[in-house]
Amino acid sequence: MQKLPGNDEPVAAEEAITPENNEPVVENEAITPEIDSPVVDNGAFATSLPDILAKIFQPKKTEAAPQQRWFLPAAFLLVIFGMFFSTYILNIDVFYKEIEKVSDGAAEKDLVWHEAGAALVEHWEERTTEYMALKDRLVELHGWEMNLLDKHFVRDADYSYSVVKDNHDWLQFITFTAQPRQIVQEIETIKELDIPILYVQPPTKFIDGYTKFPDTLNDHSAENVAANFALLDAAEVPYLDLRQAAEEDNLDKERMFYRTDHHWRVETALWAVGRTVQELEELFGWELDPDGAYTDPANWRVTDYGENFLGSQGRRVGPYYAGLDNFCLLTPKFDTKYHLELKQHTGELTIYYGDFITTIINKELLTEPSVYTNRYGAYWGADYPTVVADNLNIEDGLTVLLIKDSYGLPYGAFLSTMVDKLYMVDLRYYNIDNLPQYIEAADPDVILIMYC
Amino acid sequence: MVWLCIERIFAVLFSSVEFLCAFLPFTLLVYYLLPGRRLRNHFLLLMSLFFYAWGEPLYVLLMLTCIVGNYAFGLLAAAFRDSAGRWPARLNLAAMLVFNLGLLAVYKYSGFVISNLNSVFGLNLEDPGFVLPIGISFFTFQGMSYVLDVFRGQAQARLNVLDVGLYVAFFPQLIAGPIVRYNTIAAEIDGRREKWQDFAAGVELFIIGLGKKVLLANNFALVVDKILDSGTYVYAQEMSVAAAWAAAIGYTLQIYFDFSGYSDMALGLGRMFGFHFLPNFNYPYIARSVTDFWRRWHISLSSWFRDYVYIPLGGNRVSKQRLVLNLLLVWLLTGLWHGANWTFIVWGLYYFCFLTLEKLTGLNKLLAKIPLVGNVFTLFVVIIGWVIFRSPDLPYALQHIGLMFGLYNNPLTDEIFIYQLLENRVHLAVALLACLPLVPALKSLCQRFKVQVGRGWLGAPLGIVRDSVLLVVLVLALAALAKGSYNPFIYFNF
């Protein structure tokens, strides 16, 4: 009869008979936890070699005293208690506040108890993700492991932030099929303001004919851009396709984008401004840079900060998956003077006065030693709902309104050196319903849209 | 689809940051600080209910209902067992079955039944739209196990409802098994002794399970989901033969490491608190026959059906016709237990056919004598079975199987297969090795040569290597969880 661990009552004989044969399960065939049991007889791989060796050497079986293991269980307890203490105990006030938040929210939204409970669980899970101890180090370790295993796809909890390593070992996010932006869909509304518009399509990091994704992964950048262009064509709004321009100008594709970030390099943004200026001259006759001085790279000081930039894609996988980027800051060698108004997300207005470096460059983002610092944000410091840069060195020049996303950060900074006034509106933080009024108030000479 | 998880359920998984870094250390700390068995048991029950409520704040009431109901049935079963008449005892048993199976019928099968009635008879019955409570198939079966063991006189009824609660709701085995038979741990509810040796063994098992789940199963889940890509690839009949097999084999590996990993974690957690659950898997992919496979796969479920359905019906001590009927019923129920979908029923019947064939012809005994042939045959049957199991419907399953055999003039191989093979070559190699009983073989070798791992000139370095590897597995698994990588769990929805 078969005794089972945990009780002293033997199992009745008939229970040892399996439905598939008439033979009782013999005790030494009993299935026991793998870490305790001798090898089961019907494990062919397990018994053949020991059987052979046993026949040769025929050692005696002796009973040894059970060994007390200390290292592994102690290490395990250290890990889980260490994480418990540093994630939860040290931040207990944060987790406690969630209870208050959910209680208040539950009363407001009239939630029943189990809905409030589910909401609290969700909040605690989010806080756990946010406050998990050593999270960055663990993510780095995971990235190191993925690199060691030569993985080209690292899935993220949010699939849209999964990271792909392309055929040039660049990191990429997958671009999914997307509807054209509302600004493009409603371009007629902007056209009604009777101000010249130029849509600027930046190069995409997935370069057709150059970038290749692992099979089963598809990038839809080109389709999305084509959809935008179709709407612009229908509305007869001109656009500058910088993807094509990059091909024409034979830009070094290796140097167009950061390897670990989804943005273009600041040097590429300077080139893009030069191309925009050319296009504005061809379309509307404006000469923003008649002698090419503003957009000549020789007139820009390059400060190399070395390989200390881990971009947006790199931050999802750590620096050991694809390395770090080299970040160079471009600042004008020529004289500049600005009056700058930055509208914060809170609605507060911050005003700066001074030269390009004093007003536009956020030095903290360059000098902070952590590679996780967003160096790309050094131009303007961040994305703001609105920015007004009054170039005090240019009188009676062009007033440009730039509708932008984060690609517009270095682009707008470089453009600001050759215009009278630059208005920047970031539609991720500014209500598009208020845009026509804003444009009317700004009264620009031209509207540039680089928001895709 | 049955293999998809509701995202917020992630927190209820053992393989989650919340469990590893909050729930488990807190529970261990308070448990071992509490004096006395009673307090410790009540605390475990409280934490188990909290564990369940974390993912199912509403359905914890359902589980409490199941506990109280089975407790009452257990008391009645004991009372009627000692009394003279048979009918009260049988009536009580019938009521218990109606109660537990009724819960399953309502929450798990009502939608399936109604949709089939509507399509067969052209009715327009409304689907009640019940959400499947996590682990309902496990805790109802455990509840039934308790009452049945009391009814049979194999266990004493618990006078304290909290003890029944602990048995049914104990968090290590609550949501995904193993289905712990009451009589295997009845004595341990009151009489267990927590030992450091057990705790250490539990830690090892837990880490092994965590590694299987997070480092292996989750990776293959990505592969399979990517290849099958919401089914359009299959329905369009464009998938290559190799890719179709890659998806099938990938799922074969995913489900094994997913489920056995979770079972190992459950066993390990039980050990940490002094409980000794029976193992649920025994290297099923080295089986030499389908019969052998089912002695190794989800052992707690097959033994539950054996002991509570098959043997009471007469087992194999009946006529051949009756034997076949008994097997048919068991495997129909096994398929149904896995889910409310025709694919599971067909999957159960698929195994019924092979098991009956082996039983009636003695094929399993013949295959046992030719290990390689037996193993290949069994794996072939099992892999095809998993294709049926995973498919959302029968046409999809047939399409996939057809693609595996090139029936749609699909190409032999394609870039997708080559990419997935190269991308996952290391995981594949590790997984194939992990399917083999190398660790027991190594332990046996050590035992035969009197090498005690952790002691002696040879054993000490082996012990260091063993513990170092396990520690690395723990840290890598934690890193994967911190990343928030893909973490589905298949058996959650049973």
CB contact under 8 A, A17 and B24: no
pLDDT in tens, A206-258: 999 999 998 878 899 999 999 999 999 999 999 999 999 999 999 999 999 99
- Residue A39 pLDDT: 35
Q: What is the ipTM of this complex?
A: 0.92
pLDDT in tens, B257-302: 999 999 999 999 999 999 999 999 999 999 999 999 999 999 999 9
CB nearest to B454's CB, from A6, A69, A138: A69
- Residue A326 pLDDT: 96
**Out of A20-34, A43-57, A271-285, A396-410, least confident range:** A20-34
Q: Is residue B487 part of a domain?
A: no
pLDDT in tens, B49-75: 999 998 888 889 999 999 999 999 999
The answer to whether residue A21 scores a pLDDT higher than 70 is no
C-alpha distances in Å from residue B393, one per residue of A329, A362, B332, B386, B399: 57, 58, 17, 13, 10
CB nearest to A7's CB, from B184, B416, B480: B184
Find out whether A374 and A365 touch, Cβ atoms under 8 Å. yes
Side chain identity at residue A255, one-letter code: R
- Same domain? For B206 and B267 the reply is yes
Chain A residues touching residue B379 (CB < 8 angstroms): none
Q: What average pLDDT is seen over chain A?
A: 86
Q: Which of residues 265-304 of B touch A (CB under 8 A)?
A: 267, 275-276, 278-279, 282-283, 286, 288, 291-292, 294-296, 299, 302
Exposure of A299 in the CB half-sphere (CA atoms within 13 A): 17
- Same domain? For B48 and B145 the reply is yes
CB contact under 8 A, A84 and B484: no
**Annotation says B400 is catalytic:** no
* Closest-CA residue to B311 (of B435, B422, B152): B152
Q: Domain boundary residue among B159, B192, B225?
A: B192
Confidence (pTM):
0.87
Chain A residues touching residue B471 (CB < 8 angstroms): 72, 75
Q: Label residue A27 by pLDDT band (50, 70, 90).
A: very low
Q: How far is B450 from chain A (nearest CA, A)?
A: 7
Q: Label residue A40 by pLDDT band (50, 70, 90).
A: very low
CB nearest to A50's CB, from B196, B445, B482: B445
Q: pLDDT higher for A157 or A72?
A: A72
- Same domain? For B136 and B216 the reply is no
Q: Domain boundary residue among B192, B212, B238?
A: B192
- Same domain? For B155 and B72 the reply is yes
**Out of A24-28, A436-440, B422-426, least confident range:** A24-28
Q: What average pLDDT is seen over chain B?
A: 91
- Residue A36 pLDDT: 36
Range among A148-152, B10-14, B123-127 with highest mean pLDDT value? A148-152
pLDDT in tens, A249-291: 999 999 999 999 999 999 999 999 999 999 999 999 999 999 9
Q: Is residue B91 part of a domain?
A: yes
Could you tell me if B452 lies within 8 Å of chain A, comparing CB atoms?
A: yes
- Same domain? For B166 and B261 the reply is no
- Alpha-carbon distance of B409 to A439, in angstroms, equals 60
What's the domain range around B405?
Answer: 198-443
Location of structure tokens 């050759």: A418
Could you tell me if B381 lies within 8 Å of chain A, comparing CB atoms?
A: no
Q: Label residue A29 by pLDDT band (50, 70, 90).
A: very low
List residues bridging with A201 in a β-sheet.
A241
For A154, the closest chain B residue by CA position comes to B485
* Closest-CA residue to B46 (of B169, B195, B214, B211): B169
How many folded domains does chain B comprise? Answer: 2
The answer to whether residue B345 scores a pLDDT higher than 50 is yes
Q: Label residue B8 by pLDDT band (50, 70, 90).
A: very low
The answer to whether residue A56 scores a pLDDT higher than 60 is no
Chain B residues touching residue A70 (CB < 8 angstroms): 200
- Same domain? For B295 and B166 the reply is no
- Same domain? For B181 and B215 the reply is no
Q: Label residue A8 by pLDDT band (50, 70, 90).
A: very low
Q: Is residue B105 part of a domain?
A: yes
- Same domain? For B188 and B103 the reply is yes
- Residue A118 pLDDT: 86
pLDDT in tens, A407-430: 999 999 999 999 999 999 999 999
- Residue A113 pLDDT: 84
Q: Which of B42, B276, B298, B338 is catalytic?
A: B338
- Same domain? For B304 and B364 the reply is yes
Q: Label residue B2 by pLDDT band (50, 70, 90).
A: very low
Chain A residues touching residue B294 (CB < 8 angstroms): 20
- Same domain? For B75 and B210 the reply is no
Q: Is residue B8 part of a domain?
A: no
Q: Is residue B379 part of a domain?
A: yes
Could you tell me if B198 lies within 8 Å of chain A, comparing CB atoms?
A: no
Chain A residues touching residue B53 (CB < 8 angstroms): 117
pLDDT in tens, B184-221: 888 999 999 999 999 999 999 999 999 999 999 999 99
Q: Domain boundary residue among B166, B192, B218?
A: B192
- Alpha-carbon distance of B352 to B358, in angstroms, equals 10
CB contact under 8 A, A118 and B267: no
pLDDT in tens, B429-441: 999 999 999 999 9
Give the CA radius of gyration of chain B.
23
Chain A residues touching residue B206 (CB < 8 angstroms): 76
Instruction: Please enumerate in sequence order all residues whose Cβ is within 8 A of that of B10, keeping only pairs 6 or more positions apart, or say none.
Output: A125, B16, B487
First CA to last CA distance, chain A: 73
For A315, the closest chain B residue by CA position comes to B483
- Same domain? For B178 and B203 the reply is no
Percent of chain B at pLDDT above 90? 76
> What does the block give as tokens for B269?
């957690």
A-B CB pairs within 8 A amount to 277
- Same domain? For B335 and B428 the reply is yes
CB contact under 8 A, B416 and A125: no
The answer to whether residue B96 scores a pLDDT higher than 80 is yes
For A21, the closest chain B residue by CA position comes to B359
- Alpha-carbon distance of A64 to A79, in angstroms, equals 31
Q: How far is B70 from chain A (nearest CA, A)?
A: 22
